[in-house]
Chain A
Amino acid sequence: MPTHETGKPFALVGYFDTPAQLYHACEKLRDAGYKKFDCHAPFAVHGLERAMGVGPSRLPWIVLAMGIVGFTAAITMQWWMLAVDYPMNISGKQLFPIPPYVPITFELTVLLSAFGCFFGMWGLNLLPMYFHPVMQHPSFHRATDDKFFVAVECKDPNYNAERTRRLLEEDGAQELLEVES
């Protein structure tokens, strides 16, 4: 997460009226070789990540791992508890019958995968984070309503206050301001 000493400019933030404008702007930023920039939209604009040149999420791997944990945990638990730790003759059945153990194994696999999915996502997004410099933009509250924000970080090597501003304005970016970190 960006460490910010106040006073230093953090990023150039502005917004568009339509997803289309944002999309084009991002394509241009991407082609101009910008890396450190982000978009803030009220909903997930389809395909925008391609326009931004952002790679696919790593979340699935986390989920897979948790799923495997859940599965093995379930099998081990049921086997150890009923066949090893406290074996009992129940209805003359085997101590380790597979079929009756399927449902719980399934459920635990799903449960842990879901946990992986949920917490993994927040982890990857570094959320919760209750303050972020872009939030200082006076109109930023509309980022969750009807405006489509773009924020180009000053740290980006290609960043140049003038050029970047012009590049964005061409696509109709409004209220372009440098927010301090």
Chain B
Amino acid sequence: MKRAPYTFGTDQTGKQYWRSLDELAETPEFKAAVEREFPDGAAELIDPVSRRSFLNLMGSSAALAGLAACRRPEEKILPYAHQPESMIPGNPDHYATVVPFLGTAVGLIVESHAGRPTKIEGNPLHPESLGAANIYIQASVLDMYDVDRSTSPQEAGKPSTWAKALETLTARGAALKGKQGAGLAILTEAHRSPTLQKALNDLTAQLPGAKVYRYEPHHRDSVREGARLAFGKVLDPVLALDKASVVVSLDSDFLQTEYSPLKNARGFAARRKLAKPGDTLSRLYSAESRYSITGANADHRLRIKSSEVGAFAFALARQLATAHGVALPADVVSALDGFKGTQFETKKKWVAAVAKDLANAEDGALLVAGWNQPASVHAVVNLINQALGAVGTTVSFVKPFDESAEGPASLAALTESITKKEVDTLVILGGNPVFSAPADVGFAAALQSVPFSAHLSLFHDETCSKVTWHLNRTHFLEEWSDARSEDGTAAIVQPLIAPLFAGRTDAEVVRALLGDTRKAYELVRATWAEGQGLAAENVWRKALHQGVIAGTTSVAEVVAVAAPDLAKAISGLPKSDGFEVTFAPDSHALDGRFANNGWLQEMPDPMSKITWDNAAQISPSTATKLGVRDGDLLSIKTQKGGTVKVAVAVQPGQADESVALTFGQGRSVVGRVGVGVGFDTYPLRSSAEHGIATGAQVQKVEGRHQLARTQEHHVMEGRPIVLETDLKGFTAQPDFAQKRAPNPPASLTVLPDWKYEGHKWGMVIDLNSCIGCNACMVACQSENNIPLVGREGVIRSREMHWIRVDRYYADMADDPATVFQPLPCMQCENAPCETVCPVAATTHSPEGLNDMAYNRCVGTRYCANNCPYKVRRFNYFNYAKDFSAIKKGAQIGTFFKEDLPEIRKMQFNPDVTVRSRGVMEKCTYCTQRITEVKLANKRDGKPGIKDGEIRTACQQTCPTEAIHFGDLNDPKSDVSIHAQQPRDYSLLAELNTRPRTTYLAKVRNPNAELETA
């Protein structure tokens, strides 16, 4: 894919390149196609009628891709895996890029088929990814092909063109020059792009009067403020869990949504691997209100209100200072004493045990506080970490990419100056502040009073409808940009495809204000040419090729305790009274930006297993107290916020008198997928209580709302499904799992077993590593073209996920332990599904795969009935082609079907059949990947297949490397080695199905002193 990402029109460099044989031949069709392609052609992409022309278009791009080698490109992006010369239509290419995410940036490898990016994977070379990608990042490929994307700029709601838009911006900028830019305000997300930063700096240099604001609904302001309180300067902590043997999470979900989740997960898992008796495990304590997956993975979880976590942290600090001689500033200690007599005197046992464990951690102790916690708590945590010598080992501090606040404060400031009529030009780069602004900041109202406001975004959202100019933005897979991750590592965002709708990047829009017409590519090159040593072509190529710019990682700051104001801050810790409401990003829509993403909406919440919705999670006893059950409606009012009606989801493990809400759902201006999904909880978030709102009024109101859950029953009924023990038990009896779920004796049959010469594919899943993050599910969904069934479908329990993550509670009481179990097809050697198929549509391959011949299947569903693991999925409707299936509440099964938009089809993986109606489907160990490697090796004359050469989609993306796949016939293969471990057991072994997928039993590492706590 070497292509001018933007215009097929006049060439900047004056040199004219032909892009395909058609063009060389100047065929009118091609010219038509070219004109149609961008920007207006976009309209047609979603219109089935123009399918022909669309295919034309793709045809020409493919041809163009094929001819890539023939010319020197105007702007060159480089494939990761191999040189462009090897680009053959039909063979995927892989490119490195990077995506900014939750205050960091994750390096990616994107698979591209004939110029169409189809799947997003992590970049092993990138420190924030290490090869993994989370659900949001993987699913974001769907956003690029979203039929509801904004296709052109709009002036006052009427479609316009970029030419006009840029003209207007430049004119506006020129006009502002007169008054030194006074009245110009720029609102950005918490971006991490040096190029954008540079653009903004140039802007403020030329227009000193201009102001730049940042706003992010899920932000780390209190983290930075905590650092300032403790060390006197604003810093970002970088966690290194792989070095920590004792970790205490204070209301922090660092495995899913805080700090750098992927890196944290990898580090955490590294300390939970267990090969043989005698190996050690790290220990994780968690004190939290909302049952997060971090809490679910803790060895001990303290179920307390988030507003009490501070008091707990202080009690812990005092215990460490007094009982374990941990050095804390005197005034701080005395301030802590002020917390004598709080309820944590009653949790003494816990405090004592945890403090002792921290103090005696043989290597690396670490405290982590959640982003919702007040700065004082972060500060105290920082002091303890410092005192325990954790700083420098398990946690280090780096200068933030941008020190300015990114929470409510900055948005409030902007709004204030708007109301003071100081702003006449407001440019909003991304984000959706009208939807996500704090309740008490009247941003939406203020925005409408701005004479000229422009909003750059991917979709038509709440903000677009309130600005004078809407500008359509590029998706990160279409744009040239760059991003620094939490630890400072920089990487280039390179486009995988020309912008489908001729969008522009943030930097370009800022530049446009200055009349600078350079395109993103030149801007990025410029940024990295100066002083960064990427001027040289070969260095630049290397950076693109690897997806990381060497030597850009920030050096850790040396910190020393300087906490003059801390004591005051501690005493000022808000009291916890009455009902508290906590806010976390939604497990489907994140902060709202993925509300229109079908994959994410149908991805079950890791804990509650709710899809297509968000709910108010309350503990069983609180539910009894309020007299509500699942699906009842609650009316919630916060002191400084508004009132909202939300459906109840009773959540074991949730703290009493604490309501866990997620923000991001309930969008009012959104595409077809997200319309009417969930409840908008932003009205409850005030700038003062952005993370935790105390003293809320919660009561039952009339009405019910059905929640679509993928799992309806939550306990194991005492069956040997997920087997677990503690470290002691494991050392005493390493093969406890096989003892509990023994395989039937081979003597069970007199007949000879089927022989598997050659390869014998198998999988081992380490339940000790799995954190239940669902990344595997999205990976599978995008790799295998798995359709969506919509909310109705899930309610009828017809979801199609080939791999699911089962979640079991120890009980349904208030405070249960939780285990996760990823469940793909077990590929049983004695597969019960095969023998019952009347048409032999599912049979065993010579390598032991449980193959499914879709075109042979007549859909009796007998195989699904007879599958004890229930991993087979049936196309009850024409899910793959019927778009109405993914529309919320769409009653699928009407004669009025809506064909899947052509643009959506661009994402499909051409290596995998798209299944038709009435056909059974299931996991095949990514048989297409196996075949691909086999063919490649055969072609290249390589002998056999090296271990690890084939990686299933779920295995590849797993942040904790819990999934091992390979050839069981090769005793040295990774999978064989793990299958030999004593913890290895087969699920439902007694049925003698002989699963090829086996599990490594879970081993917890509880603290003896808390066993009874």
Q: Is A128 an interface residue (CB 8 A)?
A: no
List of B residues within 8 angstroms of A94 by Cβ: 751
Q: Is B550 an interface residue (CB 8 A)?
A: no
Q: Is A90 an interface residue (CB 8 A)?
A: yes
CB-nearest residue of chain B relative to A81? B840
List of B residues within 8 angstroms of A90 by Cβ: 834-835, 840, 843-844
Which residues, 809 to 858 on B, are CB-close (under 8 Å) to A?
A: 829-832, 834-835, 840, 843-846
Which residues, 783 to 828 on B, are CB-close (under 8 Å) to A?
A: none
Q: Is B690 an interface residue (CB 8 A)?
A: no
Q: Is B896 an interface residue (CB 8 A)?
A: no
A73-109 vs B, CB cutoff 8 Å, 1 = contact: the mask equals: 0000000000000001111111000000000000000
List of B residues within 8 angstroms of A88 by Cβ: 840, 843-844
Give 18 pairs: A residue, B residue, CB < 8 Å, sorted on A: A88-B843, A89-B845, A89-B846, A90-B834, A90-B835, A90-B840, A90-B843, A90-B844, A91-B830, A91-B831, A91-B834, A91-B835, A92-B753, A92-B829, A92-B831, A92-B994, A93-B835, A94-B751
Q: Are B754 and A92 neighbours in the complex by a CB distance under 8 Å?
A: yes
List of B residues within 8 angstroms of A93 by Cβ: 830, 835
Which residues, 271 to 300 on B, are CB-close (under 8 Å) to A?
A: none
Q: Are A91 and B844 neighbours in the complex by a CB distance under 8 Å?
A: yes
List of A residues within 8 angstroms of B834 by Cβ: 90-91
List of B residues within 8 angstroms of A92 by Cβ: 753-754, 829-831, 844, 994
A167, chain B: closest CB distance, angstroms? 66
List of A residues within 8 angstroms of B994 by Cβ: 92
Bound-state Cα–Cα, A91 to B834, Å: 6
B850, chain A: closest CB distance, angstroms? 9
Taking A89-B844, A90-B844, A92-B829 as known contacts, 5 extra A-B pairs with beta carbons closer than 8 A to each other, sorted by chain A number, are: A89-B843, A89-B845, A90-B835, A91-B830, A94-B751
Bound-state Cα–Cα, A91 to B994, Å: 10
B745-789 vs A, CB cutoff 8 Å, 1 = contact: the mask equals: 000000101100000000000000000000000000000000000
Bound-state Cα–Cα, A90 to B840, Å: 8
List of B residues within 8 angstroms of A91 by Cβ: 830-832, 834-835, 844
Q: For chain B, give the interface size range.
A: 10 to 19
A141, chain B: closest CB distance, angstroms? 52
Bound-state Cα–Cα, A142 to B846, Å: 73
CB-nearest residue of chain A relative to B833? A91
Q: Are B840 and A89 neighbours in the complex by a CB distance under 8 Å?
A: no
A15, chain B: closest CB distance, angstroms? 57
- The DSSP consensus for interface residues of chain B is loop
List of B residues within 8 angstroms of A89 by Cβ: 754, 843-846
List of A residues within 8 angstroms of B830 by Cβ: 91-93
Bound-state Cα–Cα, A45 to B846, Å: 67
Bound-state Cα–Cα, A91 to B749, Å: 14
B846, chain A: closest CB distance, angstroms? 7
* Residue in A90, A91, A93 whose Cβ sees the most chain B Cβ within 10 Å: A91
List of A residues within 8 angstroms of B840 by Cβ: 88, 90
List of A residues within 8 angstroms of B832 by Cβ: 91
Closest 4 pairs (CB-CB, A-B): A89-B844, A91-B835, A91-B834, A92-B754
Bound-state Cα–Cα, A75 to B844, Å: 24
Which residues, 19 to 42 on A, are CB-close (under 8 Å) to B?
A: none
A153, chain B: closest CB distance, angstroms? 57
List of A residues within 8 angstroms of B829 by Cβ: 92
A32-71 vs B, CB cutoff 8 Å, 1 = contact: the mask equals: 0000000000000000000000000000000000000000
CB-nearest residue of chain B relative to A88? B843
CB-nearest residue of chain B relative to A82? B840
List of A residues within 8 angstroms of B754 by Cβ: 89, 92
Bound-state Cα–Cα, A57 to B512, Å: 105
Bound-state Cα–Cα, A89 to B835, Å: 10
B185, chain A: closest CB distance, angstroms? 69
List of A residues within 8 angstroms of B843 by Cβ: 88-90
CB-nearest residue of chain A relative to B848? A89
List of A residues within 8 angstroms of B844 by Cβ: 88-92
CB-nearest residue of chain A relative to B994? A92
Bound-state Cα–Cα, A3 to B751, Å: 66
List of A residues within 8 angstroms of B753 by Cβ: 92
A163, chain B: closest CB distance, angstroms? 69
A45, chain B: closest CB distance, angstroms? 50
CB-nearest residue of chain B relative to A90? B834
CB-nearest residue of chain A relative to B752? A94
Which residues, 131 to 145 on A, are CB-close (under 8 Å) to B?
A: none
Bound-state Cα–Cα, A92 to B846, Å: 11
B747, chain A: closest CB distance, angstroms? 16
Bound-state Cα–Cα, A92 to B995, Å: 12
B541, chain A: closest CB distance, angstroms? 49
Bound-state Cα–Cα, A52 to B829, Å: 69
Bound-state Cα–Cα, A90 to B850, Å: 9
Bound-state Cα–Cα, A91 to B831, Å: 5
Bound-state Cα–Cα, A139 to B751, Å: 72
Bound-state Cα–Cα, A90 to B839, Å: 12
B968, chain A: closest CB distance, angstroms? 15
Bound-state Cα–Cα, A139 to B754, Å: 75
Bound-state Cα–Cα, A89 to B846, Å: 8
B58, chain A: closest CB distance, angstroms? 38
Bound-state Cα–Cα, A88 to B851, Å: 11
A107, chain B: closest CB distance, angstroms? 15
Bound-state Cα–Cα, A67 to B140, Å: 66
CB-nearest residue of chain B relative to A89? B844
CB-nearest residue of chain B relative to A95? B754
Bound-state Cα–Cα, A90 to B838, Å: 11
B33, chain A: closest CB distance, angstroms? 47
* Residue in A88, A90, A92, A94 whose Cβ sees the most chain B Cβ within 10 Å: A92
List of A residues within 8 angstroms of B835 by Cβ: 90-91, 93
Bound-state Cα–Cα, A89 to B844, Å: 5
A11, chain B: closest CB distance, angstroms? 57
CB-nearest residue of chain B relative to A94? B751
A152, chain B: closest CB distance, angstroms? 59
Bound-state Cα–Cα, A60 to B843, Å: 44
B888, chain A: closest CB distance, angstroms? 41
A99, chain B: closest CB distance, angstroms? 12
B714-737 vs A, CB cutoff 8 Å, 1 = contact: the mask equals: 000000000000000000000000
Bound-state Cα–Cα, A91 to B836, Å: 9
B603, chain A: closest CB distance, angstroms? 33
CB-nearest residue of chain B relative to A100? B835
Bound-state Cα–Cα, A91 to B754, Å: 9
Bound-state Cα–Cα, A90 to B751, Å: 14
Bound-state Cα–Cα, A50 to B678, Å: 89
CB-nearest residue of chain B relative to A86? B840
Bound-state Cα–Cα, A123 to B832, Å: 48
Bound-state Cα–Cα, A134 to B206, Å: 123
B543-586 vs A, CB cutoff 8 Å, 1 = contact: the mask equals: 00000000000000000000000000000000000000000000
Bound-state Cα–Cα, A11 to B251, Å: 111
CB-nearest residue of chain B relative to A97? B751
Bound-state Cα–Cα, A104 to B844, Å: 24
Bound-state Cα–Cα, A93 to B843, Å: 11
CB-nearest residue of chain A relative to B843? A88
CB-nearest residue of chain A relative to B845? A89
A78, chain B: closest CB distance, angstroms? 13
Bound-state Cα–Cα, A164 to B246, Å: 120
List of A residues within 8 angstroms of B831 by Cβ: 91-92
B988, chain A: closest CB distance, angstroms? 15
A30, chain B: closest CB distance, angstroms? 58
Bound-state Cα–Cα, A152 to B846, Å: 75
Bound-state Cα–Cα, A90 to B831, Å: 8
List of A residues within 8 angstroms of B751 by Cβ: 94
Bound-state Cα–Cα, A93 to B832, Å: 11
* Residue in A88, A89, A93 whose Cβ sees the most chain B Cβ within 10 Å: A89
Bound-state Cα–Cα, A88 to B845, Å: 8
Bound-state Cα–Cα, A170 to B840, Å: 73
CB-nearest residue of chain A relative to B753? A92
A97, chain B: closest CB distance, angstroms? 9
A44, chain B: closest CB distance, angstroms? 43
Bound-state Cα–Cα, A89 to B752, Å: 13
Bound-state Cα–Cα, A90 to B844, Å: 6
